[in-house]
Amino acid sequence: MSDQEKIVKEHMEDMTKTFTDVWQKNASMMTELFNQSHQMLTKDLDPMNIGPAFSKASKYFSNDPMKMMEANYDLWKEHIALMQEASMDMMQRQPAPKDSSQPYDRRFKHEDWANNPMFEYIKKSYLITSKWMVTTMTSVDGLSESDKKKIVFHSQLLADAFSPTNFFMTNPEAIRTMVETNGESVVKGMENLQRDLDPTTSQLSIMMTDPDAFELGKNIATTPGKIVYQNDLLQLIQYEPTTAKVHERPLVIAPPWINKYYILDLQPKNSFIAWAVAQGYTVFVISWVNPDSELGGKTFEDYMQEGILDVLDAVEKATGVKDVSMIGYCIGGTLLSATLAYMAEKGDDRIKAATFFASQADFSEAGDLKLFADEVQVDNLESAMEDKGYLEGKSMATTFNMLRSNDLIWSFYVDNYLLGKDPLKFDLLYWNADSTRMPRETHLFYLREMYINNNLSKPGGISLKGVPIDLSKITIPIYLQAAKEDHIAPYPSVFKSTGLYGGPVRFMLAGSGHIAGVINHPAAEKYNHWTNDDQPKDLDQWLEGAEEHKGSWWVDWDKWLSKHSGKKVAKRIPGAGKLKVLEDAPGSYVSVKS
């Protein structure tokens, strides 16, 4: 036996032993998973209300079989052409030149997808079929716009799930890694699966980041500050100044309660809060409670009263200053819009300027999240929240992840289970996994009044504490931030607010998406932004006349806000006013896990 043959024999023996270990460790677990999955699949449930839309599409093709025949013929032609191309490539025994016209797809970044004829064929065959499936569903006539969007979205979701990268035997990187590690990657992948799988419910919670890599207040959410006020819904953080002089008007930030505030304070290198403090603002940030069953009855009105109005009282006690500026991020901005209209009607002028990060007030073009907010789905959510009084944090996290399934689901599925990698140590992913619950009454109000009925954009469409809400009554200066690639608050939807508020509005368009478009420290020198000083009310005209600027938009915002923040005064120390320190930031509320 030659040395080469000995090496191969030893390698095969190692592989055999490895797979034996894998089978012994995981056979019982996988049996349980399949049994429970079968039980779930046989239940007659459609919580996302997908069935009616697909039934209409099926009826369309039944009534016009020629349409399906034409679509199938087109698919057949493309596959025949691909087979001919693949045959020629294999005969020539050299890789075909890369098609630069095709958009980059990170799923197929491994070199074998381009250099190995078999895997290149698998990739191209999948791309042809997945594109055909989505295009065919897009061609269905006679559907409502919402049904068509739902069909296209879920067709793409299904196509993404069946990518060859998600299956071991058709993922060249997984196969190579198995060989290079003598099968240890397979063992580790199955151990990771066992770790992430709940054997009782068969629910898979894919670990995106190392849960032990970060600790609040230690290496994440570290900007020094104090809790100076709290109620049932929030703790209020006042941050310690880093400049001798500060702007007279404090800056109060209302983040979304859909997730935790420290997206604005991940680490010093990317902390918006630390940067704002360094610009001379006295910064207060709301840290929302992670609600339990007792808080399920809290309403949108409660969030307005306890979340903004009571906070303004607290800030005045802490600083001795009545007038402030505010920031509202995402749903925190939606709450701020409604509150500003309420205050205007009541003659309360304490907020002198307001900034909105990726926040919507008109939900007529609210993006893909509208796919999850029709009346049937919201009714199903109401039933699901009936017992506990809240929506589980994982439910909201799953919804957001589905909007970018390749990036936020399947990439981690491949890394964890097919490649056997350890979880990443990444601050943003740690925050993303730190989900929060939604109180029943507030969440239902938000979905029905905003997403379904779009009532906030209509004068008097909603009333809070008996006051009709009319956004045109808001006459203070507004800074409106949106991001080019935001799929949660699309910039055309955000732009609609320029026609709702009654005062001067500065709309600014940032690069990137819902998170990176907001959290973009100037030191990073990333993601350009666009401004248009003429501020036309037509979006196309705004884009046509927009000027592009390098890097972060934070500097532009600071120039705007500093003009609305009063003179410079001596710095303010948390606890030096009428409110005493309750505890150190980041506080106890943010530490509560779902």
Residues 6+ positions from 229 with CB-CB distance below 8 Å: 235, 236, 311, 314, 317, 318, 579, 582
What is the bridge-based pairing of β-strands 283-288 and 251-254? parallel
Rounded Cα–Cα distance for residues 242 and 181 (Å): 51
Tokens 């045109």 map to which residue? Answer: 472
388, 594 contact by CB (below 8 A): no
Rounded Cα–Cα distance for residues 144 and 38 (Å): 33
E strands in 372-440: 390-391, 438-439
351 catalytic per annotation: no
DSSP per-residue string spanning 475-528: -S-EEEEEETT-SSS-HHHHHGGGGT-SS-EEEEEESS-TTTTT---GGG--S-
Strand partners, 329: 357
Residue 231, phi then psi, degrees to nearest 5: -140, -165
Altogether, the residues listed in the chain come to a count of 594
Rounded Cα–Cα distance for residues 160 and 158 (Å): 5
Residues 6+ positions from 495 with CB-CB distance below 8 Å: 480, 482, 507, 539, 542
Rounded Cα–Cα distance for residues 392 and 438 (Å): 7
Residues 6+ positions from 255 with CB-CB distance below 8 Å: 261, 263, 264, 285, 286, 288, 329, 330, 332
Rounded Cα–Cα distance for residues 402 and 25 (Å): 31
From 227, 330, 369, 480, the catalytic residue? 330
Residues 6+ positions from 542 with CB-CB distance below 8 Å: 495, 507, 532, 535, 536
Catalytic machinery residues: 330
